Amino acid sequence: MKDETLSIHHGYETDPTTKSVATPIYQTVAYEFDSAQHGADLFNLEVPGNIYTRIMNRPTTCLNKEWQRLKVVLRGLWSAQVVRQLITLF
């Protein structure tokens, strides 16, 4: 894939059910828990899952993956720039 395509779609894995290639937006305000213990484990962040749309949901998860990848790329660019400047100085 080209860089432009990766920059848009990186971090999202195609949903096997819907075959969606873009992060879907789920307009929901509540999630069902398997049990009270399951809900407690989710809110204690002991198990992965959706609990609250501002904390854990699929679009947020994809955004976090993309942000982590972008930080690595930016560190690499910054390092390359520093090396270039050092070479220029010496």
Are 22 and 62 in contact by the 8 Å Cβ rule? The answer is: no
- Residue range 14-58, pLDDT digits in tens: 778 878 777 777 777 778 899 999 999 988 989 988 787 666 666
Domain ranges of the chain: 3-89
pTM: 0.43
Q: How far apart are CA 38 and CA 23, in angstroms?
A: 26
* 83 vs 41, residue with greater confidence: 41
